[in-house]
Amino acid sequence: MPNITGHTELVGLMAYPIRHTQSPTTHNLAYDKNGDDVIQLAFEVDNDSLKDAVQSIRALKMLGSNISMPNKTVVHKYLDEVDEAAKLCGAINTVVNLRDENGQVTGKLKGYNTDGMGYWQALTEEGIDFKGMKMVLIGTGGAATAIAVRGALDGVAEIEIFNIKDKFYSRGEEIVDLINKNTNCKATMNDLADKDLLKEKMHAADLFCDATGVGMHPLEDLSNIPDPSFFKKDLIVTDTVYAPRETVMMKQAKEAGCEKVFNGMGMMLFQALIAIKLYTGKDTPVDYMKEKLG
Ligand code: NAD
């Protein structure tokens, strides 16, 4: 039980539905470990109540708030500033109440997307220098877009994006266009149904990411990859899914002899730790968090 006093400061989490979230567990563990008199609480906020909820960050002098669905693509309307990557991917998951030179919150709110940052930070922590890499990315939803945009801004050389021809496909075409216009990265949009092309691109890539949720309930028995021959041994293989800890795709990659295979736990942890640093300015001990969160 945290020692809540008159000085305790508040970080929010605004989403609907939200009661299943692990975020307060992660944040409050970190604030406690860092010796910060801060707590995070989850609030049921949908698009209808979002404007008032964001205004309450200013009114209550909160440090900020995490933002999840259905608010990620809407919240920018109520903010004062938006970070470049969040602007490009059109989604915000962290709103920070900016501080003045004395460390006091100002009521000026800036939006960030730490999902993309978290994915790349997790790879960096594994000793992987992704600058100049060629990537194959499956997915054009929220997670994939954040990963692609941040990677392109931070030095990934090429991203071959694949998606099924559902409602997300045109979003992928827009993201490819934005990346090619705004970064030095060369991005291409491809149809996931073209498995020969997928195999060719995977064999030419350094890094692979599945950011679709295929491999997670209710699709836990499925993989977007037809068989292990799609993986070459030195491919770095990542999945944004963290439950289960090992997806069918990750098993296929290991069967093919890939040694660097990572689930979405790192992305999830680092998106939180980056947000925490934005709120408090503090780095949280990573090993401690990994040990506590399992
Ligand atoms: P989203 O709904 O925004 O996007 C889903 C994507 O998957 C789209 O590109 C869609 O076309 C594709 N897709 C859906 N069904 C498919 C199928 N049957 N076959 C192939 N492709 C299919 O979802 P999102 O928010 O981007 O989340 C995607 C996954 O990433 C989820 O598993 C989510 O849990 C995970 N995620 C993890 C983290 C993390 O921190 N590790 C963060 C965000 C999301």
Percentage of the chain lying above the pLDDT 70 cut? 99
Mean pLDDT in residue range 196-217? 97
Residues 64/57, Cβ–Cβ less than 8 Å: yes
Measured between alpha carbons, how far is 160 from 148 in angstroms, rounded to an integer? 10
> How far, in whole angstroms, is CA 110 from its chain's centroid?
17
Measured between alpha carbons, how far is 65 from 95 in angstroms, rounded to an integer? 5
> What separation in Å is there between the alpha carbon of 143 and the centre of ligand 1?
6
Q: Is 163 in the pocket of ligand 1 (CB under 6 A)?
A: yes
Atom of ligand 1 minimally distant from the CA of 219: 18
Atom of ligand 1 minimally distant from the CA of 118: 40
pLDDT at 294: 78
Q: Is 242 in the pocket of ligand 1 (CB under 6 A)?
A: yes
pLDDT at 3: 83
Mean pLDDT in residue range 2-29? 94
Full-model pTM:
0.94
Asked whether residue 133 carries a pLDDT value surpassing 90, the answer given is yes
Average pLDDT, the chain: 96
| Stretch (H or E) spanning 262 | strand 261-262
> What separation in Å is there between the alpha carbon of 67 and the centre of ligand 1?
17
Of 119, 67, 69, the C-alpha closest to 95 is: 67
Asked whether residue 2 carries a pLDDT value surpassing 80, the answer given is no
The H-assigned helical ranges of the chain are: 23-33, 47-59, 84-89, 114-125, 142-153, 169-182, 195-204, 248-255, 265-280, 286-293
Q: Name the 3-class secondary structure at 50.
A: helix
Phi and psi torsions of 182, nearest 5°: -110, -5
Asked whether residue 244 carries a pLDDT value surpassing 90, the answer given is yes
Measured between alpha carbons, how far is 114 from 146 in angstroms, rounded to an integer? 8
> What separation in Å is there between the alpha carbon of 211 and the centre of ligand 1?
5
Residue of 161, 169, 240 best suited for mutating to test ligand 1, as the one with most atoms within 8 Å of CB:
240
pLDDT band per the 50, 70, 90 thresholds, residue 266: very high
User: Can you give the C-alpha Rg of the chain in angstroms?
Assistant: 19
Model confidence pLDDT, tens digit, residues 207-229: 999 999 999 999 999 999 999 99
Residue 142 amino acid letter: G
Asked whether residue 127 carries a pLDDT value surpassing 90, the answer given is yes
Asked whether residue 24 carries a pLDDT value surpassing 80, the answer given is yes
Pairing of β 81-82 and β 94-99: unpaired
Of 142, 186, 182, the C-alpha closest to 160 is: 186
Q: What DSSP line would sit under 81-149, residue for residue?
A: EE-HHHHHHT--SEEEEEE-TTS-EEEEEEEE-HHHHHHHHHHHHTT---TT-EEEEE--SHHHHHHHH
Which positions are annotated as active-site residues?
72
